[in-house]
Copies of this chain bind each other. A is one copy, B any other.
Amino acid sequence: MSEAHSACGHHTIAPRSGTAFTLDKGQFLVVTDPQGEQVADLLAFNRGDLDEVISSGRTLDYASRIYLTTGDPLYSNRSNVMLRIVEDTVGRHDFLLTPCSADTFRIIYGDAEPHRGCFGNLAAALEPFGIGPDRIPVAFNVFMNVTVDGHTGALKVEPPLSRAGDRIVFEAMQDLVIGLTACSALQSNNFAFKPIHYAVEASWPLRA
Contacts and interface: CB of A to CB of B under 8 A. Distances in A.
A61 B137 contact: no
B152 A104 contact: no
Interface string A118-153: 000000000000001010111000000001111011
Interface string A43-78: 000000001110111101111111100000000011
A98 to B, nearest CB: 3
A134 B67 CA distance: 25
A79 B103 contact: yes
Tallying the copies of this chain within the complex gives 2
Interface in A79-93: 79
Contacts of A98: 55, 57-58, 61, 77
A17 B157 CA distance: 38
B60 A155 contact: yes
A96 B148 CA distance: 12
Most buried by B among A58, A132, A154, A156: A58
A148 B66 CA distance: 8
Interface string A96-118: 11100101100110000000000
Interface of A: 51-53, 55-58, 60-67, 77-79, 96-98, 101, 103-104, 107-108, 132, 134, 136-138, 147-150, 152-156
